[in-house]
Structure 1
């Protein structure tokens, strides 16, 4: 009984990185749908975090997320991601109309002293929260993302999106990735959504949009 109770609290560094990746995947897909970046018929419902979330069925977009978020997950384990930004642009003018910042903080955790999955004698980094509690917090943030359509301005032009990853200087950039400058929105309004924490990573979600 004691072992089972301990197991429910055993969120590891790798498990925490997986949860953040899943939040980014489902959260960004929800934003793309809610903001009308692609036609609604190119999305299909999926169950995650106790919610029905609409996910893109476009193979190119799915492959893009696999590559980008897979790399971000590795960097979260290495503790070198500072922020992930979803940028929404006007296709014709390239003007940034909206951006979603997912800011990462790294929280102090303890080690349980067991060997890791590779059996090489390293310690597993273990947090203090159970997965159900974390998923409940993530669910509340995604509900807020869905609710942003009530105050965000209408995107009345053809739009595209990109994902920027802000990392610490020691990060090795993949060869097929480009370095770019930070993006800004002139005369912007900013709204901070709920935060969630795995007790290993903390993530803040902030949406900025052009104030018209």
Structure 2
């Protein structure tokens, strides 16, 4: 009697990137909820990756996050991105925390081949969901790790390019070129290394990325315990 092996689905890079974009959107809503950037009552309970998640009820917040991630994916398709970060800022725009999605090891595929099946991506949708679920679980516990933030914090999303990455250009570009998120002149954040807290390493064959949080030393001075 012969047996047949379970057939794993084929993946194109475009499909992998689409699934990753969905994951980033869920991650950002989770961060906004956990860090109380908006009041908890403005979030609704949803479900993703067979796990309860929070999603902002505010249409403008949802649209902003979706559009920002869409712009990130435009750069990811070009293979230019090394990091995507969610930066938490104080009410006077001092960086306090940075949630980093390190894409240095993420696969890079030429734009002409992104609709072609990738032979070496031998994992199932269930395995991908399990990996993303674990990441969201880690993010869902960051409030207990990072402590309470001061009132009226805001956030922004940044990308860092590879050394050979081409910066986005054009009138409609959503990105503002910068050397980095820098504090006010009287707060020398760049001279003080941030505290780094690893959250998760995802490794599914060639699909690999890291998530960690950086806490600035300035945060200790402004956070009310």
What's the TM-score once normalised by structure 1's chain length? 0.83
CA contact (8 A) 2:201 2:211 kept: yes
Equivalent residue runs for 1:90-109 within 5 Å = 90-91=90-91, 93-104=92-103, 105-107=105-107
- Superposed CA offset, 1:179-209 (max 9, x none): 1222365453110111113434322111011
> 1:89 and 1:108 mapped to 2: Cα distance?
31
Equivalent residue runs for 1:120-159 within 5 Å = 123-126=116-119, 127-159=121-153
Shift in CA distance, 116/60, structure 1 to aligned 2, threshold 3 Å: closer
Equivalent residue runs for 1:23-62 within 5 Å = 23-62=23-62
Corresponding residue for residue 10 of structure 1: 10
Shift in CA distance, 13/147, structure 1 to aligned 2, threshold 3 Å: same
Query: Which has the larger displacement, 177-186 or 142-151?
Result: 177-186
Q: Structure 2 stretches of 5 or more lacking a match? A: 183-188, 221-225
- Superposed CA offset, 1:59-111 (max 9, x none): 221111221111222332332221101000011x21111111101123489xx
Task: Calculate the aligned-residue CA RMSD, in Å.
Answer: 2.5
Corresponding residue for residue 166 of structure 2: 170
* Secondary structure of 1:163's aligned partner: strand
Q: Structure 1 stretches of 5 or more lacking a match? A: 110-114, 118-122
CA contact (8 A) 2:79 2:108 kept: no
CA contact (8 A) 2:37 2:152 kept: yes
Query: Which has the larger displacement, 54-63 or 183-192?
Result: 183-192
Question: Is 1:192 matched with 2:185?
Answer: no
CA contact (8 A) 2:96 2:216 kept: yes
CA contact (8 A) 1:107 1:199 kept: no
> 1:106 and 1:187 mapped to 2: Cα distance?
26
Shift in CA distance, 166/108, structure 1 to aligned 2, threshold 3 Å: closer
What's the TM-score once normalised by structure 2's chain length? 0.78
Count of residue pairs the alignment pairs up: 199
